C-alpha cells in the first residue's frame, strides 16, 4: 500500500541574496520555486487522490486533466477515474464512451476486470477509466450492497500497482459516490474557485472528510486546497484568496490557477492545456502544481 502522508512536508524555500524582500506569490506568501521531479526507478503502488468539492464549476475536471497530464510529463504513470455521471473528464480527454465499458460496469460487477476498462489517452503516461450518464444510477443500485462505501477501493486495488498516482474526478455532491472516492483515497485535493459561494462549502467538505477518516478510512489526509479561477484584477478574487489562506494556512497550495479562456478551448479540442497551449501561463501553472505536490510528498 502506498505510504500515507500525515503532515505537510517542509518545502524548500527560495534564497534571496542580500536584504531584499522576497517576492510574494498570489497567496501572499514568499514565492518558492519547486524543482523538476527526479525520474522514478519504477512504477507503483499508486497514491490515490480524490479531487473533491460539492460545488460544481470550480475546476475539478480541468484540474484532473491538466494535473494528470503534467505529472505524466514528469514521468509519472497516471490513471484518471471519471467519477461524475456528466462524463466531462472523458470528453475533456477526447474519449467517446459509446459502447465502452465504464466505471459504472465495474461498480455494479457486470465487468470484473478493471484492466479491461482502462483507455489510453493521447497523452503518453495518462490513462482513464471513463464514465457516462449510466453512472447516475449507481447510487440507487449500490444503496443495499454490503460495504457499499468500499466498492471503488476494491475496483482500484486490481490496478494500483501499475500506476504512480490515481486521480478521481468526483461529482459535485457529497453522496455515496463521493464517499466511495474518499474511502478509496489516500489524500484529497480540493479545487476552490476564488469566489465567495465556493468558499462557503469548504468547511462542510472538510467535515465530511473528517467523518470518513473517523468511520471508514483513518489514513486519509488533506493534500491541499488549490485556488482556481483566480483573477488578480478583481478585489473580490483577491479577498477570497486572502481569506482562504488565513483560514487554512499551509494547507492552501502556493500554486494558483488563473482564469483564462484557454481551458474551455482545450476542452473542446479534447486535450490537456499542456498539449493544446504548452507555452501558455495556464499550462505552466499546472506543471507548477505537479511539482509542488511532489515537493509536499503527495505524489512520488
HEC string of the chain? CCCCCCCCCCCCCCCCCCCCCCCECCCCCECCCCCCCCCCCCCCCCEEEEECCCCCCCCHHHHHHHHHHHHHHCCCCEEEEEECCCCHHHHHCCCCCCCCCCHHHHHHCCCCCHHHHCEECCCCCEEEECCCHHHHHHHHHHCCCCCHHHHHHHHHHCCHHHCCEEEEEECCCCCHHHHHHHHHCCEEEEEEECCHHHHHCHHHHHHHHHHHHHHCCCCCEEEEEEEECECCCCHHHHHHHHHHHHHHHHHECCCCCECCCHHHHHHHHCCCHHHHCCCCHHHHHHHHHHHHHHHHCCCC
Listed residue (188, 79, 93, 68) closest to 129, CA to CA: 79
pLDDT for the residue numbered 196: 86
Count of CB atoms situated within 10 Å of the CB of 275:
16
pLDDT digits 0-9 by tens, 71-127: 999 999 999 999 999 999 999 999 999 889 999 999 999 999 999 999 999 999 999
Sheet holding 47-51, edge to edge: 119-120, 126-129, 78-83, 165-170, 47-51, 187-193, 221-228
In a domain, 176, yes or no: yes
CA 35 to chain centroid, in Å, comes to: 20
- 32 belongs to a structural domain: no
Residue 245 lies in a domain: yes
Q: 7 falls in which pLDDT band (50, 70, 90)?
A: very low
What pLDDT score was predicted for residue 237? 92
What is the average pLDDT across 215-239? Answer: 94
Q: Please, which residues bridge with residue 128 across strands?
A: 80, 119
Is the residue at 22 inside a domain? Answer: no
Residue 11 above 50 pLDDT?
no
Whether 111 is in a domain gets the answer yes
User: Binning pLDDT at 50, 70 and 90, where does residue 132 land?
Assistant: very high
Q: With cut-offs at 50, 70 and 90, classify the pLDDT of residue 9.
A: very low
Percent of the chain with pLDDT over 70: 93
**What's the pLDDT score for residue 17?**
53
Domain count, the chain: 1
Across the range 251-258, mean pLDDT stands at 95
Instruction: State which residues form the domain around 118.
Output: 47-296
* Mean pLDDT in residue range 212-238: 95
For residue 1, tell me if it sits in a domain. Answer: no
Q: What is the CATH number of the domain that holds 54?
A: 3.40.50.300
Q: Can you give the pLDDT at residue 66?
A: 97
Kindly report the pTM of this predicted structure: 0.91
Do the Cβ atoms of 83 and 177 come closer than 8 Å? yes
Asked if residue 38 belongs to a domain, the reply is no
Is residue 112 in a domain?
A: yes
Amino acid at each position: 500500500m502506498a505510504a500515507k502522508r500525515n503532515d505537510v512536508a517542509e518545502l524548500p524555500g527560495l534564497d534571496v541574496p542580500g536584504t531584499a524582500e522576497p517576492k510574494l506569490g498570489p497567496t501572499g506568501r514568499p514565492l518558492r520555486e519547486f524543482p523538476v521531479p527526479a525520474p522514478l526507478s519504477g512504477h507503483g503502488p499508486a497514491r490515490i487522490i480524490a479531487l473533491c468539492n460539492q460545488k460544481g464549476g470550480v475546476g475539478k475536471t480541468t484540474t484532473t486533466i491538466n494535473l494528470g497530464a503534467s505529472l505524466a510529463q514528469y514521468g509519472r504513470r497516471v490513471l484518471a477515474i471519471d467519477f461524475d455521471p456528466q462524463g466531462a473528464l472523458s470528453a475533456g480527454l477526447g474519449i467517446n464512451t459509446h459502447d465502452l465499458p465504464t466505471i459504472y460496469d465495474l461498480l455494479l460487477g457486470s465487468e470484473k476486470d478493471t484492466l479491461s476498462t482502462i483507455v489510453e489517452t493521447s497523452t503518453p503516461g495518462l490513462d482513464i477509466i471513463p464514465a457516462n450518464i449510466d453512472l447516475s444510477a449507481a447510487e440507487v443500485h449500490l444503496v443495499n450492497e454490503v460495504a457499499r462505501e468500499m466498492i471503488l477501493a476494491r475496483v482500484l486495488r486490481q490496478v494500483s500497482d501499475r500506476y504512480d498516482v490515481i486521480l478521481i474526478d468526483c461529482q459535485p455532491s457529497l453522496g455515496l459516490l463521493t464517499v466511495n472516492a474518499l474511502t478509496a483515497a489516500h489524500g484529497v485535493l480540493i479545487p476552490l474557485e476564488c469566489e465567495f459561494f465556493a468558499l462557503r462549502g469548504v468547511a462542510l467538505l472538510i467535515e465530511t472528510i473528517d467523518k470518513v477518516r473517523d468511520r471508514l478510512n483513518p489514513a486519509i489526509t488533506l493534500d491541499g486546497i488549490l485556488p482556481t479561477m483566480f483573477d488578480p484584477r478583481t478585489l473580490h478574487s483577491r479577498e477570497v484568496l486572502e481569506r482562504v489562506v488565513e483560514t487554512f494556512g499551509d494547507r492552501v497550495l502556493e500554486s494558483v490557477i488563473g482564469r483564462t479562456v484557454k481551458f474551455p478551448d482545450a476542452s473542446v479540442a479534447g486535450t490537456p492545456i499542456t498539449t493544446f497551449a504548452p507555452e501558455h501561463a495556464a499550462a505552466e501553472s499546472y506543471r507548477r502544481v505537479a511539482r509542488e505536490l511532489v515537493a509536499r510528498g503527495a505524489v512520488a
